[in-house]
Amino acid sequence: MKNKLQIYFVTGISTDVGKTIVSAILTEALQADYWKPIQAGDLEYGDTHKVQDLVSNSQSKFYRNAYALQTAMSPHAAAEIDGIKIELDKITIPISENNLVIEGAGGLLVPLNDSETIIDLIKPKYKVIIVSRHYLGSINHTLLTVNALKEKALDIAIIFNGKEHPSTESIIKKMTQVPILGRVDEEAFFDKNVVKKYAEEFLCAEEFQNYFEL
């Protein structure tokens, strides 16, 4: 791996599309650190706990949420219930000597407050991995997500999650012209072994190697 440290932001085309599983696979494959800036709900066993339980390597570090909100709903609404307001200048990236995987919340336009959304967390230097899961409307959501990121001239790639759908994947690839890094198939369960298997498979893929400069 090249010496330059890199930051990777994992976003999704919607909620519950597999961002946490993909984040775990990337964290394992890259032996990167992991950070979820905003956790809304499930505080006793949130996404950071889940990724930590799915990662095998001893290199990765896991950082505390900048905001840990009690209610599982849009961050702006969950923050209002907690009597606070999410402020971007209070979301400070952890100081790390390692590559860092950042997991977003929901999709790019999920509100953080009255004027800012998840996309405002993404800095120009970040590489962005979109998790796309197939459902009726997912092509539209994927193209909208890609276009929003292209408007900011960000470095983008896609990972598909779920059962293969060739026509959907083909048109997304043709219309976006961004790298497709691979797919996470439907699995009965995910544990350390399954995540490690995917990490090893991804590491062998040329598109993955090129995107992550391995």
19 is catalytic: no
Q: 40-89: per-residue pLDDT in tens?
A: 999 999 999 999 999 999 999 999 999 999 999 999 999 999 999 999 99
DSSP reduced 3-state for 152: coil
Q: Which pTM value belongs to this model?
A: 0.95
C-beta separation of 101 from 35 below 8 A: yes
Confidence (pLDDT) at 84: 96
Provide the number of structural domains found in the chain: 1
CATH code for position 162? 3.40.50.300
CA torsion 197-27-171-187 (nearest 10°) is: 40
Residue 1 within a domain? no
From the candidates 2, 4, 19, 36, which is the catalytic residue?
36
* Amino acid of residue 39: Q
Range of the domain at 33: 7-211
